[in-house]
């Protein structure tokens, strides 16, 4: 596999993806795992599913890549079977019922930790701005969020976001208009959380004295925010390493299996109280 390329297609706005630290950290971890084998990641950002599928066809036809990593799995996702049908080894970043190599993170555990932490701080009304509802891990998070809230006597409201700064602010405004208004809000990524915190400060709402904030992705954005954002911390670099190692194993002929992603911990900073 010396000199081989591992394909990774991200679907969405290049501007939005470019400001998300998550994918940059993930790719850095993959590169570290792949480098000893002389392989590297070929990243392409495309606008929609049709273009993504066309990219896989072209890669298979031209023998461009040795394998493909598929991220942001959705319900009834056609991509895993499609890529495998083209004869390309495929590793999935997320849960899927099919017989594929995959790296699965504990999204349910992350939401349970969020509710336990906020409940322990005395919060009884908690909002959440989620990622897109079609994503498998969003559904897992929402189910666990509601279940944990019921166990701890916490009232929750979930509004759908899109991981963008604008989506974070829209979700924040919806939750602020709710009755009762939440005293804490969880955001499914760091970009939405940082944007919402800036909006609160501009509006004269004190963080965390009036509203506590918790991000689901920990990154330098959270540390640089004012006040610094508490976050559920998953070692994204380690996640990338695990994906890279899963790819290497697959192209070397190992059977596809499920790999556990990194554990989730919480980093409490100044945005929760």
Give the pLDDT confidence score for residue 84 in this predicted structure: 96
- Average of per-residue pLDDT across 26-47: 96
Pairing, β 5-11 against β 67-70 = parallel
- Residue 2 reports pLDDT greater than 70: no
Q: How confident is the model at residue 17 (pLDDT cuts 50, 70, 90)?
A: low
Q: What is the pLDDT of residues 135-165, one digit of tens each?
A: 999 999 999 999 999 999 999 999 999 999 9
Q: What is the pLDDT of residues 164-190, one digit of tens each?
A: 999 999 999 999 999 999 999 999 999
Give the pLDDT confidence score for residue 22 in this predicted structure: 83
- Residue 247 tokens, joined: 């790819």
Rounded CA-CA distance 122/201 in Å is: 22
Q: What is the pLDDT of residues 50-74, one digit of tens each?
A: 999 999 999 999 999 999 999 999 9
Q: How confident is the model at residue 16 (pLDDT cuts 50, 70, 90)?
A: low
- Residue 7 tokens, joined: 């394909």
- Residue 3 reports pLDDT greater than 70: no
Residues above pLDDT 90, as percent of the chain: 88
Full set of structural domains in the chain with CATH = 5-105+235-263 (3.40.50.2300), 107-233 (3.40.50.2300)
**What pTM did the predictor assign?**
0.89
- Average of per-residue pLDDT across 236-264: 93
Rounded CA-CA distance 257/246 in Å is: 9
- Average of per-residue pLDDT across 11-15: 74
């Amino acid at each position: 596999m010396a000199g081989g390329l591992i394909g990774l297609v991200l679907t969405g706005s290049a501007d939005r993806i470019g400001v998300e630290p998550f994918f940059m950290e993930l790719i850095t971890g993959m590169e570290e795992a792949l480098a000893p084998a002389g392989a590297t990641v070929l990243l392409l950002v495309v606008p929609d599913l049709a273009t993504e599928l066309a990219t896989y066809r072209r890669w298979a036809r031209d023998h461009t890549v040795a394998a493909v990593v598929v991220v942001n799995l959705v319900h009834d996702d056609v991509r895993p079977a499609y890529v495998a049908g083209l004869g390309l080894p495929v590793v999935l970043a997320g849960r899927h019922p099919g017989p594929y190599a995959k790296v699965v993170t504990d999204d349910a555990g992350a939401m349970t930790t969020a509710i336990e932490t906020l409940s322990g701080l005395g919060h009884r009304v908690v909002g959440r701005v989620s990622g897109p509802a079609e994503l498998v891990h969003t559904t897992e998070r929402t189910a666990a969020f509601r279940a944990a809230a019921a166990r701890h006597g916490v009232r929750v409201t979930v509004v759908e976001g899109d991981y963008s700064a604008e989506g974070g602010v829209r979700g924040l405004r919806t939750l602020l208009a709710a009755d009762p208004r939440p005293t804490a809000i969880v955001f499914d990524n760091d970009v939405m959380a940082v944007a919402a915190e800036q909006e609160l400060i501009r509006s004269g709402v004190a963080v965390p004295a009036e509203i506590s904030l918790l991000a689901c992705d920990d990154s330098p954005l959270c540390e640089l925010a004012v006040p610094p954002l508490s976050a559920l911390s998953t070692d994204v670099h380690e996640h990338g390493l695990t994906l890279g190692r899963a790819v290497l194993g697959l192209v070397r002929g190992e059977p596809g299996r499920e790999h556990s992603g990194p554990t989730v911990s919480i980093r409490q900073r100044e945005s929760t109280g």
